Structure 1
Amino acid sequence: MNTSAAWARLEPKLAYFRNRVAQLEYEPARKNSFVAYTAERDSAYADQDGQRLLMMSGYSYLGLAGDERVVSAAKAAVDRYGTGNHGVRALAGSTPLHEELEAEVAKFAGREQAIVFGSGYAANTGVIGGLVGPGDTVFIDKYDHASIVDGCKLSGASVVRFRHNDVAHLERRLASTPDTGVRLVIVDSVYSMDGDIAPLVELRKVCDAHNALLMVDEAHALGVIGATGRGIEEHFDYEVKVDVKVGTLSKGIPSMGGWVAGPAELIHHLKYASRPFLFSAALGPAQAAAALESLRILQREPWRVEFIQRESERFRGLLHAAGISTVDSETAVVPVIAGSDDAAYDFATLSRKHGVIGLPVVTPAVPNDLARLRIAITARHTEADIDFAADAFIKAARETGII
């Protein structure tokens, strides 16, 4: 380590994570962060250091990450366009493939137009920064994703938080804040840690009553909720609409990138006002093609969504019957509560010994008494996989004293 005075001032920051990780991963068997896995193309299993384990914490909800149709589309795009683009979208970076993907996203989301970003994180920060600034106010759910929180901070707008899924608290916040400038309420449709769903209908009513726009991040909703996987509006039978829909291409859709869909005028504005879109290289051809093909497969194969919803409910039921808490989960995101951070690492380590990968999420990402394994049910799992995983988690929970 450099020992200069300048580096010495940085040392306390470096030491924090060094010591924090060492406390939890004090032996090789307890390593759970930044572990390299080699996923099998045709199953939910993955190789870790020569051991074949059932992956239960992967995000590929639709089970398309290794699908030959998606892989072939990515290969064809590389053959046609190469491995990268020629710059940002506003200059030489746009291709017909980007326009085709954006049209498909817009159609799927039920909106006039859409644009795609290099990541979901960039989409959230870029949209927020493009819509609000000093003099405006953003109201965000306490459990909103970090990209939303960071986008609000970077925008320069005033930020007001409200209790998780508490519409009455949001209404009080809106009523007590001056009704000036742009007022924007932002929620996740499916919350990535607890797997619960935002109360969209009530949120829409409160926003309308207080002159606020409503933005929803569909990152963990696309392919997961709604009869055909179209997200929160479909989940609530299209009773209401949101003003701005944002999502990713790296969860249910097995690629990279983010998207925003809305009225044509809004999309035109964001093309020029969203800095992460305007100043970042265009999404790579392979990623764009993989996302496009996956969206088309999703629309042709609704059984994937049906399987995810059915098996998620069954999996939660198996855990509940054994006395394991999954808090308020109602989707494919299933938090398996351990308690303390150390307990979560013990739980993950023992689960792996029983043949299953369940990765721990600890403070500060979650409250200090609600550390958990965050499980994701996917269409790549089989019913036998779900049974095997539930049995492994129950055994590990008993061995750690969680139940």
Structure 2
Amino acid sequence: MAHASLWEGILCARARARPFRHNNVEDLKRKIDRYGPGLVIVDSLYSTNGNLCPLGDFVDAAETGGCAIIVDETHSFGCHGKHGGGIAVDLDLADRIHFRTIGLSKAMAARGGVVVGSARNMEYLRYEARPMIFSTSVLGYEVAGFNAALDIIAAEPWRAEQLHANHRFLRTGLLALGYDVCESDSQIISIVTGTLENTVTFRRFLDEHGLLGSVFCPPATPENRMLLRFTLNASLDTGALHHALDVCAAAKQKIDMRGWPTLLA
């Protein structure tokens, strides 16, 4: 479930990846025992399927195994935690995490990104990290926009509350219709569609009825386990959510779904 940018970073660093099973702390521990300490890298909220990470367990495992830990908060920042600070802040884990990375293209609706860590590590990155050395700086008006967005997030917590009320409503409705969204527990809701043919047919039906779903296919997913992702926001009203469920209900009547191997009974 790791983002492609992680693999690019591994290549850039000439490091060796030792993948462990998704959200499986025991498998991580076995890998540390086998290969020794290193950098543990996880997302707090996975963009592919909307799955939350049991972050406290991973931080504990990293500390016990003598590892540093990197947590990407791109999809949780602004939407989760006190004042939108992310899941690490919400769980009071920020001071135990060596690096937190945040892309600003999601809740902040901007460009650029942030790396949070100790002053010593940040100084090192400033002068040694090639992506930082050979990159343009964000501009003054962009920084002003970031600050304004942070003020809104802090002053209007109802936005995050409404966002998660919306995701719970839609997820519950999709489950009741028999769609496989079991791994999604956030504002990102992915339906397992299976094959390319299933996914294209479903995507076209949704599009024809005014509903946008993003296709996830190989290499972003395993073969024959393609996904169609809904990304919710706080501005969706009850009518829009009911429309989404009505369209998905109609899809079950209009589309032959017998070839969906992961569809719930």
TM-score normalised to structure 2 length: 0.91
- 2:217 corresponds to 1:359: no
| Whole-angstrom distance in 1 between the partners of 2:114 and 2:249 | 38
- The answer to whether the Cα contact below 8 Å between 2:69 and 2:97 also exists between their aligned partners in 1 is yes
- 2:143 corresponds to 1:288: yes
Over 3 Å counting, the alpha-carbon distance change for 1:238 and 1:214 in structure 2 is closer
Structure 1 residue aligned with 2:243: 388
- After superposition, the CA RMSD in angstroms is 1.8
| Whole-angstrom distance in 1 between the partners of 2:238 and 2:135 | 42
- 2:113 corresponds to 1:258: yes
The letter for the 2-side match of 1:226 is G
| Whole-angstrom distance in 2 between the partners of 1:305 and 1:355 | 25
Structure having the higher Rg: 1
Deviations 1:24-71 (A, max 9, x none): xxxxxxxxxxxxxxxxxxxxxxxxxxxxxxxxxxxxxxxxxxxxxxxx
- The answer to whether the Cα contact below 8 Å between 2:39 and 2:67 also exists between their aligned partners in 1 is yes
| Whole-angstrom distance in 2 between the partners of 1:291 and 1:397 | 42
Structure 1 residue aligned with 2:8: 150
| Whole-angstrom distance in 1 between the partners of 2:35 and 2:188 | 34
Aligned-pair distance for 1:271?
0.8
The letter for the 1-side match of 2:5 is S
Q: Segments of 4+ in structure 1 off by > 4 A? A: 237-240
- The answer to whether the Cα contact below 8 Å between 1:347 and 1:397 also exists between their aligned partners in 2 is no
Structure 1 residue aligned with 2:77: 222
Deviations 1:228-248 (A, max 9, x none): 422122443559732211011
Of 224, 227, 247, the residue aligned with 1:369 is: 224
Aligned-pair distance for 1:276?
1.2
| Whole-angstrom distance in 2 between the partners of 1:214 and 1:353 | 44
SS, match of residue 19 in structure 2: strand
| Whole-angstrom distance in 2 between the partners of 1:398 and 1:372 | 20
The letter for the 1-side match of 2:35 is T
Structure 1 residue aligned with 2:49: 194
Correspondence list, 1:4-403, <5 A: 143-179=1-37, 183-236=38-91, 238=93, 241-402=96-257
Over 3 Å counting, the alpha-carbon distance change for 1:360 and 1:397 in structure 2 is farther
| Whole-angstrom distance in 1 between the partners of 2:186 and 2:157 | 16
| Whole-angstrom distance in 2 between the partners of 1:203 and 1:395 | 41
The letter for the 1-side match of 2:120 is E
Aligned-pair distance for 1:227?
4.7
Unaligned runs of 5+ in 1: 1-142
- The answer to whether the Cα contact below 8 Å between 2:212 and 2:230 also exists between their aligned partners in 1 is no
- The answer to whether the Cα contact below 8 Å between 1:327 and 1:337 also exists between their aligned partners in 2 is no
Percent identity reads: 29
| Whole-angstrom distance in 2 between the partners of 1:233 and 1:165 | 16
SS, match of residue 17 in structure 2: strand
- The answer to whether the Cα contact below 8 Å between 1:194 and 1:327 also exists between their aligned partners in 2 is no
| Whole-angstrom distance in 1 between the partners of 2:101 and 2:16 | 21
| Whole-angstrom distance in 1 between the partners of 2:212 and 2:113 | 27
| Whole-angstrom distance in 2 between the partners of 1:343 and 1:227 | 40
- The answer to whether the Cα contact below 8 Å between 1:249 and 1:258 also exists between their aligned partners in 2 is yes
Over 3 Å counting, the alpha-carbon distance change for 1:184 and 1:238 in structure 2 is closer
TM-score normalised to structure 1 length: 0.61
The letter for the 2-side match of 1:342 is E
Unaligned runs of 5+ in 2: 258-262
| Whole-angstrom distance in 1 between the partners of 2:36 and 2:89 | 33
Count residues with an aligned counterpart. Answer: 258
